[in-house]
Amino acid sequence: MNLLKAIALLLAKQPRTLVTRYTLGVEIYRLYKEKIYEGQILEGLKKNQASKSDLLRVINHLEASGILQEHENFRGKAYRYMSGKVEHAEEDACIIDPFCYVSHLSAMSYHGLTNRLPTHLVLSSPDPKNWSILAGKQMSKDLGSHLPEYESEGLPLLTNTKFSKIGRTNIQRVHSLRLGAFKSVKNRSVRVSTIGRTFLDMLQRPQLCGGMRHVIEVFKEHAGTYLMPIVYEVDQYGGAIDKVRAGYLIDELLGMGNETTESWLQFASRGGSRKLDPSEEYFPKWSEKWCLSLNMDLAEFL
């Protein structure tokens, strides 16, 4: 078996139809080292390590044969291979950025929490410094002690690619120091925030979730179903204002309070200017219990 056939077979067995230049570099480097694929010796591989020119030669051959096609949004960084369906934007995004996940209104849509159709795909991703740290750990995991040699050969590294559009889909990326919980979607190259994290995101950045009014609509309709994961996520990872807003909604507005939500009363601060809707002006009408300005019309929710 030759190297090109081995790469083609390897790609065909993947559940996804998008591959990054970094992944190709790692796989070709491994094949040069091992000189065997699925028990068959690879012919003509005399060198002990692949070089940048070897990678370019393989990519050029695969493109010429129609196996690989450069991704229109990630030229020189990612390729589609012709063994399956075209990926959705969220799948492409999660392959290009291995540390991002679908979040906010896009995650609400995935979980069936909203009937609104997102006009763009919202992704949460580490801030640049932490992204680089995670990338270094991933490359060490992929290549182990061979990483210095891999780098010295000029082979592609795992880099943070900036993008604001994939195909016809506009992308909005949210960066944070500490990422929330997410899960991998079965049989798809997609990661999405968990139910609990999605509700916490609604409290922290309602403007990315359809606005505070829509957030309250979602809480009213779905909080009873997902009360345990919501309370856990807010309790473990929410800040003081998140606990106060969640406490008001769950306890006072919806009447679903419990021992944990009662413990959040310690974060209610009298004389402050905390608002239920962070995007609106302060209004002198408040929840006495939660010391929170009710700066929006809640009549329809009562």
In DSSP notation, 163-212 reads -SEETTEEEEEEEESS---EEEPTTSS-EEE-HHHHHHHHHH-GGGTT-H
Whether residue 21 is found in the same domain as residue 71: yes
Q: Are 199 and 249 in contact, with CB atoms under 8 Å apart?
A: no
Global confidence as pTM: 0.91
Whether residue 187 is found in the same domain as residue 199: no
pLDDT value of position 77: 93
Last-in-domain residue among 137, 165, 191:
191
Whether residue 138 is found in the same domain as residue 209: no
Whether residue 186 is found in the same domain as residue 224: no
pLDDT value of position 265: 95
pLDDT value of position 86: 57
Distance (Å) of CA 266 to CA 33, 136, 173, 230, 290: 60, 41, 34, 19, 9
Tens digits of pLDDT across the chain (302 residues): 888 889 988 888 877 778 999 999 999 999 999 998 888 888 888 888 899 999 999 999 999 988 899 998 999 899 988 654 555 899 999 999 999 999 999 999 999 999 998 889 999 999 999 999 999 999 999 999 999 999 999 999 999 999 999 989 999 999 987 788 999 988 788 999 999 999 999 999 999 999 999 999 999 999 999 999 999 999 999 999 999 999 999 999 999 999 999 999 999 987 677 899 998 888 888 899 999 999 998 888 87
Whether residue 35 is found in the same domain as residue 18: yes
Q: Distance (Å, rounded) from C-alpha 284 to C-alpha 246?
A: 20
pLDDT value of position 23: 95
pLDDT value of position 103: 97
Whose CA is closest to 84, among 27, 25, 18? 18
Last-in-domain residue among 145, 170, 191:
191
Whose CA is closest to 301, among 262, 249, 251, 256? 249
Last-in-domain residue among 153, 170, 191:
191
Whether residue 105 is found in the same domain as residue 118: yes
Whether residue 54 is found in the same domain as residue 36: yes
pLDDT value of position 79: 92
**Structural domain count, the chain:** 2
pLDDT value of position 85: 52
Helices H / strands E in the chain, number of each: 12, 13
pLDDT value of position 251: 96
Whether residue 12 is found in the same domain as residue 139: yes
Whether residue 210 is found in the same domain as residue 140: no
Domain range for residue 66? 3-191
Whether residue 134 is found in the same domain as residue 31: yes
pLDDT value of position 87: 57
Whether residue 172 is found in the same domain as residue 264: no
- The string of DSSP letters for 253-289 reads ITS---HHHHHGGGG--TT---BSSTTS---S-EETT
Whether residue 292 is found in the same domain as residue 202: yes
